[in-house]
Structure 1
Amino acid sequence: MPRTLFIRKQLESGRYNNASEVVRAGLRMLEDLEAEREKWLREEIPGRLTELRQDSSKGIPAETVFSRLEARHRAKQAKA
């Protein structure tokens, strides 16, 4: 959906008074998402890496990961 159409729909919903409010809301959401991502990277990943180093059977082979990603990508393309 083109950005201008999205902004127009948001304005028509009555939730926002102008395009700047829509953009600010979007930026706040992006900031929140990035903060959560950073938190996950700092707090979750180091523990998982330690766990994997202690028991490598918990890992997933790269070939399996790539096969799954390719299958998901093909499925999404088929829907479009």
Structure 2
Amino acid sequence: MRTTQQLSITLPNELADVVKSKVRTGEYASESEVIRDGLRALLARDRAVESWLQHQVVPAYDALKADPSRAVTPEQVRARLAAEHAKIR
């Protein structure tokens, strides 16, 4: 059974130039390799976002829902950010 599938895609000129440049410089052996690597990076990013949502955002939301007194106002956030920014300067 075949494990690959041939597709025909259309890219804007600037993206097509990037793909061709990656092959021309020897970074990749073929245009297909460039596209496959890009798709792998996209899937990795999607998995990372999903993990962040499940392991950090959902628990934080649940904790806030259980104890609304933990909420921080926009003004408090701005003040904290300004204080941190002032430290960096």
Given the two structures, how large is their TM-score scaled by the length of structure 1? 0.63
2:38 alignment partner in structure 1: 26
Higher helix share: 1
1:59 aligns with 2:72: yes
How many equivalent residue pairs? 62
Residue segments in structure 2 that go unaligned for 5+ positions in a row:
1-12, 78-89
**Distance in 1 between residues matched to 2:28 and 2:48, nearest whole Å:** 25
Residue segments in structure 1 that go unaligned for 5+ positions in a row:
65-80
Contact 1:10 1:16 in 2 (8 A): yes
Identity %: 26
Kindly state the Cα deviation for residue 5 of structure 1 after the two structures are TM-superposed: 0.8
Larger radius of gyration: 2
1:74 alignment partner in structure 2: none
Kindly state the Cα deviation for residue 58 of structure 1 after the two structures are TM-superposed: 3.5
User: CA RMSD for the aligned pairs?
Assistant: 2.2
1:46 alignment partner in structure 2: 58
Q: Which moved more, 1:29-38 or 1:46-55?
A: 46-55
Q: Show structure 1 runs of 4+ deviating over 6 A.
A: none
